[in-house]
A and B are shown apart, each in its own frame.
Chain A
Amino acid sequence: MLRTACVHLRSPLFSRTLIAITLSWLGIFVLTPHLLVMMTSVLTPDTTNFAVWPLTFEAYTRLWEPLYATVFLDSLYLSVTATLFCLLLGYPFAYLLSRLGPVWRNVLLFLMIVPFWTNSLIRTYALKLLMGNRGLFNDLLMGLGLIDSPIQMLYSGFAVTFGLVYILFPFMVLPLISSFDNLDKTLLEAARDLGASAAQRFWRIIVPLTMPGIIAGCLIVFLPAMGMFYVADLLGGARNLLLGNLIKNQFLVMRDWPFGSALSVTLILMMFLMLAVYARANRRIQRKGGLDDANFA
């Protein structure tokens, strides 16, 4: 009886502890760091103290200098190409998987995810072996008689793009599959009934209705792709740099933290821009998407 009486006392201490832990961890290790990055981006670089007063927007103006702008645009180009290839390969793949029976579908999804849980650095290294001058790809092509001598695949923009696609492909497929799952098949029948050809059904019904999946996929492929410096380091040449390489360089080599932070802030801004587009696409088809923060709310 006494025990029952004890637990009847509501323990605000318990709930308060939970709330305090939640807010303080997120505050200290997520909110503050992000604010600090933004602040650092408008400080003056300093070799010993990393960033000091006074405030300056020099880091942001430097982004527009031809030297950096070129590197920035080149890295953007690599990531965009990788994202598009992921989409082109992933869209039909997700479509086909979504049309399989539940058992096959889950088995194949599982098989797709397993390799992407192996360290991606090691998988990049594996590609390096495949794409080398005496690697499997070249041997295969020569064996088939398509080429006479090995072609230089490594240390090129192609190799970096290939690596990014290889590593990020599952991230594209997952949101696409859930988009295809949410696609009501009777809508396609309705479109047929109203005289839409296969191409018309694809462009007017399937694409708009899977747009949230397309954008979500692009979002979670493109953003990491910008940062994967080790892919460019291992597979790319001196000129095939990703934004991640620039940022890493500013922080760990050049010790220009404000400029590195400004680059990151740019990346964060791109993220929010894409999120806004995603939210809009979702609203357009009246659906809450898988990436919605209503997941926690």
Chain B
Amino acid sequence: MRISRSLPPLYIGLIFTLLYLPITLLVINSFNISKYGYVWQGFTWKWYDKLWHNTALKDAFLHSLSIAFTAATLATLLGLLMALALYRYRFPFKRTASALLFILMLSPDIVLAITFLIVFMALGLQLGFWSLLISHITFCLPFVVITVYAQLKGLDRNLLEAAQDLGAGERSLVRLIILPVLRPALGASWLLSFTLSLDDVIISSFVTGPGYEILPIRVFSMVKVGVSPEVNVIATLLLAISLVSAMLIALLLHRKKDEKT
């Protein structure tokens, strides 16, 4: 009757193998002399070298990083302001605002992609850096707001009242009480936004312009045709980036938990 004891670990192990197998293979292949297949034929840095000299690809990578960096920073800032507004104030259309954030979070990327495309066309905005930046900021927003808002909700309201009682105005309240408390949430939000932005393919495909090519578009056209070892290198670099930010997020949120107890 009782499920055999070895079955659950076996199942979990199988799932993890399937999750990790593909990317592990890419990482290994990025150091493999062989261009085709996964059979190990010797260690090499040549694909890294090749990426370094592939100006178009390198530019796309740098463009992606700068979009991700700027979008993450601005989304964190904007999300912070929104979370504060939603937490601190009553205002008309507040429910609409939170419903819009909810829709934003849940809408499939493909829907967001065309909404952005249409609004940029309607506004007469040239597709390129700005359209990419605005759309990346926007789709990161709900995740920032949720993270920050959750932490604000955990904040003792008495703390704010005590501060006001001691003479703190709205701005000093935010600067001296709220921001320090929110630091871990803001850090986590920034990292999350950064990775979300780097990960995006669908929205970027719609709002990108010829003047500012970013990584997914470049990679897409490369892998559609066939095998390209530079993509393995990019995969390795991206994996390293997301591993680091995932660990940082875990650390930030873990510390937050410690402080609570």
Contact = CB atoms under 8 A, between A and B. Distances in A.
B115 A37 contact: yes
A37 B108 CA distance: 14
A93 B243 contact: no
A202 B239 CA distance: 39
B154 to A, nearest CB: 13
Given A224-B109, A296-B149, A22 B171 contact: no
Nearest to A128: B223
A97 interface: yes
A117 B246 contact: yes
Contact of A19 (B8, B20, B85): B85
Interface of B is mostly: helix
Contact of B169 (A7, A89, A219, A233): A7
A114 B11 CA distance: 19
Interface in B36-83: 36-38, 78, 81-82
Nearest to A223: B108
A227 B167 contact: no
Nearest to B88: A15
B179 interface: no
B110 A129 contact: no
B185 to A, nearest CB: 14
Contacts, number: 255
B19 interface: yes
B202 interface: yes
A36 B94 CA distance: 22
B22 interface: yes
A126 B235 contact: yes
Contacts of B159: none
Contacts of A34: 103, 115
Interface stretch (A58-66, A186-194, A263-271): A263-271
Contacts of A273: none
B216 A119 contact: yes
Interface in A39-92: 40, 50, 89, 92
B116 A29 contact: yes
A49 to B, nearest CB: 9
A224 B111 CA distance: 9
Contact of B22 (A36, A130, A247, A260): A130
Contacts of B220: 121, 230, 233
Contact of B100 (A30, A114, A275): A30
Nearest to A26: B100
Given A113-B246, A115-B19, A228 B223 contact: no
A123 interface: yes
26 contacts: A4-B167, A14-B174, A22-B81, A26-B100, A30-B138, A34-B103, A34-B115, A36-B118, A36-B119, A36-B122, A37-B115, A108-B12, A110-B246, A117-B199, A119-B216, A122-B23, A125-B231, A129-B29, A129-B227, A227-B109, A228-B110, A247-B114, A293-B98, A295-B98, A296-B86, A297-B94
Given A31-B96, A110-B246, A166-B22, 8 more contacts: A19-B91, A23-B91, A29-B138, A119-B219, A122-B234, A129-B29, A223-B108, A248-B206
Q: Which 3 A-B pairs rank lowest in CB-CB distance, beginning with the nearest?
A: A227-B110, A33-B115, A126-B22
